[in-house]
């Protein structure tokens, strides 16, 4: 099942990149949780369900003139997948450009995504998944 989980995670993230909310909803549990990035400004915040995640994403997008995420690597961890990503952002009013290398730990159950937890530190994401490099 773990190779399937990696593919599900890939399709979910690619849907996120395209803002394909219907496609993402098909891959996620109705109660999917998005937890604020550990080490980030929203650490501890939780959004539940694709509708709430979408609303949050769309309101955040108003801040950015450009915002895109690229997949660096997907790492199989059984019922979990670790995503290494590179995130590009440019502020709408400030013009400030940011490039972040981060990670997301994606938990799956019965072929559906149930939880996403971002990490500013890729090593911390691997450790949380029970992996080491």
| Structure confidence at residue 98 (pLDDT) | 86
| Structure confidence at residue 95 (pLDDT) | 86
Q: Which residues of the chain have pLDDT under 70?
A: 1, 60-62, 133
Q: In order of start, what are the domains of the chain with their CATH numbers?
A: 2-128 (3.10.450.50)
Over residues 82-95, the pLDDT tens digits come to 999 998 888 888 88
| pTM exceeds 0.75 | yes
CB under 8 A, 24+ apart: contacts of 24-31: 24/50, 25/50, 27/112, 27/113, 28/112, 28/113, 28/114, 29/109, 29/112, 29/113, 29/114, 31/114
């Amino acid at each position: 099942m773990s190779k399937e989980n990696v593919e599900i995670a890939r399709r979910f993230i690619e849907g996120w990149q395209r803002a394909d909310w219907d496609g993402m909803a098909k891959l996620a549990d109705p109660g999917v949780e998005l937890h604020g990035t550990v080490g980030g400004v929203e650490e501890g915040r939780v959004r539940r369900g694709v509708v709430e995640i979408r609303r949050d994403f769309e309101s955040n997008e108003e801040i950015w003139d450009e915002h895109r995420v690229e997949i660096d690597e997907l790492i199989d961890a059984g019922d979990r997948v670790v995503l290494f990503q590179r995130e590009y952002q440019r502020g709408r009013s400030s013009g400030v450009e940011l490039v972040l290398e981060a990670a997301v730990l994606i938990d799956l159950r019965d072929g559906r995504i149930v939880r996403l937890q971002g990490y500013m530190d890729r090593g911390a994401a691997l450790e949380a998944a029970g992996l080491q490099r």
